[in-house]
């Protein structure tokens, strides 16, 4: 049920995109304590985006999960920022991350919901 969506103006080739997906999937499973078989990750690169009045490299990340705590959100913010600064050479102050804790009854899967 954890879902992470990366939007960035950085151009990423197919090979790097596949690596990012795999690493983000593992990171999200580890940080949320959820099985990776429930983790979904999306990467949208090369987008036309502007932050603070300029188009320098940036990222907007959406991270959603059932039962996401504030402690997990803080840990994820640090992990995601470290990961993006290392992999995409982004500055941490050019990364926004939106966290959402979704109630289990509002998250559908396999013809039903988790609640």
The catalytic residues are 2
Please classify residue 66 by burial: count the beta carbons closer than 10 Å to its beta carbon, then call 0-12 exposed, 13-18 middle and 19+ buried: buried
CA-to-CA distance for 8 and 31, rounded, in angstroms? 22
* Backbone angles phi and psi of 60, in degrees to 5: -125, 125
H helices within 10-69, ranges in order? 14-32
CA-to-CA distance for 3 and 32, rounded, in angstroms? 11
């Amino acid at each position: 049920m954890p879902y992470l969506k990366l939007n960035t103006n950085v151009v990423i080739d197919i090979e790097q995109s596949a690596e990012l997906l795999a690493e983000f999937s593992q990171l999200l499973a580890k940080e949320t304590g959820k099985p990776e078989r429930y983790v979904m990750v999306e990467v949208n690169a090369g987008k036309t985006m502007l932050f603070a009045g300029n188009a320098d490299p940036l990222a907007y990340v959406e991270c959603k999960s059932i039962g996401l705590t504030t402690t997990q959100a803080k840990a994820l913010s640090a992990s995601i920022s470290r990961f993006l600064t290392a992999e995409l050479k982004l500055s941490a102050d050019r990364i926004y991350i939106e966290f959402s804790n979704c109630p289990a009854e509002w998250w559908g899967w396999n013809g039903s919901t988790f609640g």
